[in-house]
Amino acid sequence: MATASPRSTVKATSSRIVSAPSGNATVLPSPRTSRAMAGEAGACMRLSARSPTESAMLGRTMRRSGGMFEPYAGATRANQWAIGRVRGFALIFATLALCLGLFAPLHAATPAKTPATAQRTVLVMGDSLSAAYGLAASQGWVALTAGRIAKEKPTWRVVNASISGETTAGGAARIDGELQRVKPKLVVIALGGNDGLRGLPLTQTKANLERMIKASKTAGAQVLLVGMRIPPNYGREYTQGFEGNYTALAKQYTLPFVPFLLEPIARDRANFQDDNIHPVASAQPKLRDHVWKTLGPMLK
């Protein structure tokens, strides 16, 4: 894998219808009644307008003959008045039945609200390699991974908190705030490349990575550690120690581990932009697939 000066790293990128049951019998009102029933819905609100005196008078004036009310012919004026009132009450009760028949189904037809299933979050803490440096954000391996998760693991989502130029010190300083803001169930830590390119002390890099791992686990999140390697021109001791930091931490905390993010593309110069550091768009699906082998089984 070709290299470039750390200064080549530049600014950050963001990443029914319900029917009411009918009664035992149905009374059809006269045409006159029907016209009245078709009036304003306010008729329903006038049901209480009849006084107790009118009800008592009806009881005194109505007489039964063979179980039926006497016919209108031969009836006294009082009886005619009472019968008229009975018809009025029949209209009122019919209107009430109509109102109940109209509004009850509307209430019953309201569907119950179903709570949405809460999505769990994958938080990615990385540098420019995860921030799609030099590309559209949608072309980066993290965005491509988010697309696969949306299709295959819809109860999960991805938040990419990667920043171009980020070091492990920057990640360690940001991790608590990101954990509180996102509340992830899984944290992908893909930092360290800039530490190596700058030749920062190995003990410092390891301590920063460990701080991020411990904070994530304390917050109840799984951790996927993604390692990095640096070119041999930094010297054998430093390059081996740098790679060994990731291996040691993965073993110490029993973490799922991707030893080298760029493994599937590192040997082909055509996979990199002009700076010889950042992968081109056509190489990003390979990085997605590489990380997915370990990440996918963790999304249960």
Question: Quick check: 124 and 130 in contact, CB under 8 A?
Answer: yes
Write out the H or E segment, with its range, that includes residue 224: strand 222-226
Euclidean distance between CA atoms 293 and 141, whole angstroms: 13
Name residue, tokens 């008592």: 56
Euclidean distance between CA atoms 158 and 145, whole angstroms: 8
Which strands sit side by side in the sheet containing 186-190, from one edge to the other?
Answer: 156-160, 120-126, 186-190, 222-226, 257-258
The tokens describing 128, both together, are: 């420019």
Bridge partners of 272? 279
Task: Report the helix count and the strand count for the chain, using DSSP H and E.
Answer: 9, 7
Helix (H, G, I), strand (E, B) or coil at 19: coil
Question: Quick check: 176 and 215 in contact, CB under 8 A?
Answer: yes
Question: What are the backbone angles phi and psi of residue 188, rounded to the nearest 5°?
Answer: -100, 120
List all residues 6 or more positions away from 218 whose beta carbon is below 8 Å from its beta carbon. Answer: none
Instruction: Name the residues annotated as catalytic.
Output: 128, 275, 278
* Residue count of the chain: 300
List all residues 6 or more positions away from 152 whose beta carbon is below 8 Å from its beta carbon. Answer: 296
Helix (H, G, I), strand (E, B) or coil at 156: strand
List all residues 6 or more positions away from 275 whose beta carbon is below 8 Å from its beta carbon. Answer: 4, 8, 134
